[in-house]
Amino acid sequence: MQDAVKRILGTTDMLRIHDAIVGRRISSAALTRAMRVIGLDKKALARILSISAAMMNRRLKSRVSLPKHEAERLYRLARLVDIASRIFGDDKKARSWLIHPVPALRGSRPVDLLETELSGKEVERVLYDVGNGGVA
């Protein structure tokens, strides 16, 4: 899972990802890849992207380009999955950390804090603290 960004978005090149997000060239097929790579169900991924279950179903069926805000949230999720995998050294441990409450995040689940850049940065900070010997 350490290559979630590449497996979901097709590249790890930041400028290409930026151009794809801004140019709305990230297909909704990336949602299916994200669910498979990360192990999330449709409901959980819809919540992270801040879209309804009905919208998620439409996205999955239509194969349209994702709006910028959804593509950016998808990238944020994939990037944090990669960071967690590197820090924990194990995909299963990384996935578990992301979906369970973390005391350092006031008992919130990291995946529930990925809707905004601000809270995503806080999840990232806590991950790096864990990697430097801190307690999650």
Confidence check: pLDDT of 2 > 80: no
Task: Flag whether 108 is in a domain.
Answer: yes
Task: Flag whether 136 is in a domain.
Answer: no
Q: Give the pLDDT of residue 136.
A: 63
Predicted confidence (pLDDT) per residue in 36-52, tens digit: 998 889 999 999 999 99
Q: What pTM was computed for the model? A: 0.88
Average pLDDT taken over every residue of the chain: 91
The pair of three-digit structure tokens given for residue 12, joined into one six-digit string: 């790890």
Q: Give the pLDDT of residue 117.
A: 87
Domain count, the chain: 1
Q: Give the pLDDT of residue 133.
A: 86
The pair of three-digit structure tokens given for residue 46, joined into one six-digit string: 């819809």
Return the H-helix or E-strand segment holding 37: helix 29-38
Domain holding 114, by residue range, is 4-131
